[in-house]
Amino acid sequence: MEQQEAERRLQDLRDALLDDWLLVTEHLAGTQQQMESSLSWRVTAPLRLVRLFQVKARELGLPAATRLGTAVVARRLGRGA
């Protein structure tokens, strides 16, 4: 009997944790969507891409970073890699 009660309480705690996680995830998704639709986010998008390319060029070398950048641009334009 005590084991069943402990298992029920454990399941209740798991359910509560999942509910809390879902609420936080929902909130964060809405916050991220608001941020990404802001003017400053859209204006700085090209700058973030340039910075990412600089980092990849430093990590991988310029030829590899160029191939990677080309593949990303092609994918975003819907042309495959």
Reported as a single tens digit per residue, the pLDDT across 6-48 is: 999 999 999 999 999 989 988 888 888 888 888 888 888 889 8
Same domain as 54, residue 32: no
Same domain as 55, residue 27: no
How far is Cα 5 from Cα 12, in angstroms, rounded to an integer? 10
How far is Cα 22 from Cα 16, in angstroms, rounded to an integer? 10
Same domain as 48, residue 22: no
End-to-end CA distance of the chain: 61
Q: Residues 47-63: what's their mean pLDDT?
A: 91
> Measuring CA to CA, how many Å separate 57 from each of 50, 51, 71, 81?
10, 10, 14, 19
User: What per-residue confidence (pLDDT) applies to 29?
Assistant: 84
Is pTM, for the whole model, over 0.75?
Answer: no
Residue-number span of the structural domain to which 5 is assigned: 1-37
Give how many domains the chain has, as a whole number. Answer: 2
Site of tokens 């975003």? 76
